[in-house]
Amino acid sequence: MIQSSQPQTEPILRLRGVSKNFGAVSALTDIELDIHPGEVVALVGDNGAGKSTLVKILAGVFQPSAGTIEYLGNPVSLSGPGKALELGIATVFQDLALCENLDVVANLFLGHELAPWQLDEVGMELRAWSLLRELAARIPSVRQPIASLSGGQRQTVAIARSLLLEPKIIMLDEPTAALGVAQTAEVLNLIERVRDRGLGVIIISHNMEDVRAVADRIVVLRLGRNNGVFTADTSHQDLVAAITGASENAVTRRQKSRAEGAATREAGL
């Protein structure tokens, strides 16, 4: 069932036996996860599978109850969001967390402005353009407020912002959830470009098509445990089976009943 195709490089991030309990409930149990440079790892699972808990542990929001996290070969404790950022683990949250009243440059550099006592607007604008150009992002003007940007453009700004501090790993929580077809494609392209820069990318998504389109490995979580590692060419059925935990599940039953319905309609003709 498990098809491993791990690259031969040293992983940037290595999780071993990570668990997280909320009182009597164990949200995560014995999670193993490796992230290599230049690799997109998709984290999939049903609601309540523990994806968000795992992301929050990596972002430093939660502390694990047990297990070790190794970063570049050294064991680390991610004691807070600042610590994770400092190490080079950047997170793009689902709601993006941009200030609509500020322009693109101000949002990119928020909290990390150049020259705090006499803002270097020219320097920041230049860096903003070169960053957006590296991502081949299509933002018409960096001096317009975020409020006037489309959902895909906002996602681009959020991703560009996470790259500003030169992280080693970037985590994207549902990056395509609110986007249209063309914008989704743009964001997927963006993710590939980030990967090509040699970063490790973790994406969380419910959209199997997006996941298969961009991920090098697909890590399935189920009820807080590892439930297999797949490659992008795994069939939809196998993935769904791993996510739901059975080949007989709501999705397959629905497909079956639809197929039967079609058959009876055909028979009726």
Partner 1 sequence: MTTPDPKTSSTLDRADSRVRNDDSFAGAWRGFIDRVRSGDLGMLPVMVGLVLISVVFTALNPVFLAPNNLVNLLFDCATVGVISLGIVCVLMLGEIDLSVGSMSGLASAIIGVLWVNTGMPLPVAIIAALATGAFVGFVYAIFYTRLGMPSFVATLAGLLALLGLQLYLLGATGSINLPFQSDLVRFGQTMIMPDWLSYLLAILPGAVIAITGWRTSQRRVAAGLSPLAMQIVFAKAIILTLALGFAVWYLSLGRGLPWMFALFVLIAVALNYGLTRTQWGRSMFAVGGNREAARRAGINVNRIYTSAFILCSTLAAAGGILGASRLASSSQQAGTGDVNLNAIAAAVIGGTSLFGGRGSAWSAVLGIIVIQAISNGLTLLNLSSSLRYMITGAVLAIAVIVDSLARRSRVSHGRA
Task: Check binding of 116 to partner 1 (CB under 8 A).
Answer: yes
Task: Check binding of 134 to partner 1 (CB under 8 A).
Answer: no
Q: Give the separation between CA 243 and CA 47, rounded to whole angstroms.
A: 10
Task: Check binding of 99 to partner 1 (CB under 8 A).
Answer: yes
Q: Which of 38, 83, 119, 192 binds partner 1 (CB under 8 A)?
A: 119
Between 114 and 208, CB nearer to partner 1: 114
Sheet architecture: strand order including 89-92: 89-92, 169-173, 200-204, 39-44, 217-222, 225-231
- The 25-64 site mask, x for binding partner 1 (CB under 8 A), equals ----------------------------------------
Sheet architecture: strand order including 74-76: 25-35, 13-22, 66-71, 74-76
Phi then psi for 179, rounded to 5 degrees?
-110, 155
- The 142-181 site mask, x for binding partner 1 (CB under 8 A), equals xx-xxxxx--------------------------------
Task: Check binding of 117 to partner 1 (CB under 8 A).
Answer: yes
CB atoms under 10 Å from CB of 53, counted, come to 21
Rg, Å, the chain Cα set? 20
Q: What is the dihedral of CA 155, 189, 56, 9, to 10 degrees?
A: -150
Task: Check binding of 101 to partner 1 (CB under 8 A).
Answer: yes
**Whether 123 contacts 114, CB under 8 Å:** yes
Q: Give the separation between CA 138 and CA 65, rounded to whole angstroms.
A: 43
Q: Which of 111, 233, 268, 269 binds partner 1 (CB under 8 A)?
A: 111
Task: Check binding of 24 to partner 1 (CB under 8 A).
Answer: no
Count of residues binding partner 1 (CB under 8 A)? 40
Positions in the binding site for partner 1 (CB under 8 A): 81-82, 85, 93, 95-102, 106, 110-113, 116-119, 121-123, 125-126, 129-130, 133, 138-143, 145-149
